[in-house]
Amino acid sequence: MKVCIIGQGYIGLPTAALFSRSHCEVVGVDVSEEMINNLNNGIIHIEEPGIKDLIKNAIENKSYIASLTPHKADAFIITVPTPYIVENYSCDLSYVINACKSILPYLEKGNVVIIESTIAPMSTDETIKPIFENAGFTVGEDLYLAHCPERVLPGKIIDELIHNDRIVGGVTLECAKKASEVYGQFVEGELILTEAKTAELSKCMENTFRDVNIALANELTKICAKIGVNALDVIKMANKHPRVNLHSPGPGVGGHCLAIDPYFIYAKSPETAKIIKLARDTNNSMPDFVCENVKKIIKKGKIAILGVSYKGNTDDDRESPAYNIIDKLNGDYEIAIHDPHIKNPDFLSFDEAIKDADLILVLCDHNEFKHLDYDLIKNCVKDPIIFDTKNIISEVPDEIKLYNYGNLYELN
């Protein structure tokens, strides 16, 4: 089978790697010439366990090539971004539309086209299907169109692409069957066949569920800080109930999924999706909450930022609330940033970032931050203070003051 994958980012590249490993001939397409050149030379632009060796092996055995343009194939998979439109929170389908149009000259009867990009409900039927029909294809008869959303965790993408169940939403049942045959090349989880609109809403709802539950934990944190209760103890105690699982609060919600997908549902029915919108507003308010408490801890000076990735132990900083927090603090404080997983010439080493810092602000749950070098901190900082917004530091020496979401009430 020959597979052409449009988009070589956090989903497209691992997907290409797995099809290549499964003896498929794979073309990975992207608009970045630098990325394409790097990929063809085995240089990987994302940090993800296992992917570097898979792509290197695929290039060596000629089962994978990167290209600026699509090639003819048996199956085409679209994995391009879908941001939201700020004015009305609706799904911006422009990248998906352009990707679909880009493959039209290479399509042949019998091909399978799969949209993996997260899209708003009804997008496949109302917007994407007409693109191919206007090109002369009959979807469900000589072209098979489906929406198959990804559902993976950064840091475990390869494993989850293989083992997670996949929802395969076809425009017709035959479309779903044909798309499932494509994923059958490497997916070991269950392939669940359904309608495209059901698959679309299912993916959006998965992330909305998580966003709403994180918002509940974040709202609890705000309440506890105001009334003088340890929020972390409340969560720990409540979760002793056999049917309760409160999520962990944090500095906000990031990533391309949780921070965006709920808006796609809200935009479809804003008069009804009130809980969804309120959860988004609550999570979007957390950077302000962090900054308000920073200003209670120190009025001026240097802040050492630890971590800007939205997800621990990855280099994925898409929609990271850390950047919002940095923007709000910048100007009032001297900012020094350290993130061991992100390559940025402006970021500093841990030693440089914390030197003479008035506050160490933890914004990401990298493993490196769970057990800090406290002797080094005491040597570099006169009166060390840590504000851990990810609640990952269990204890510190007596000489270091630790704030987290359990004791913010002390600042009031």
Question: Among all residues, which ones are annotated catalytic?
Answer: 203, 257
Task: Return d(Cα 264, Cα 269) in angstroms, integer.
Answer: 9
Nearest to 4 by CA among 75, 68, 52: 75
Instruction: Provide the CB-side half-sphere exposure for 254 (13 A, CA).
Output: 25
Going by C-alpha positions, the residue among 344, 17, 1 that lies closest to residue 9 is 17
Nearest to 325, CA basis, from 368, 379, 389: 389
Q: How far is CA 11 from CA 6, 16, 137, 150, 389, in A?
A: 10, 9, 28, 8, 28
Residue (of 183, 239, 281, 201) closest to 192 by Cα position:
183
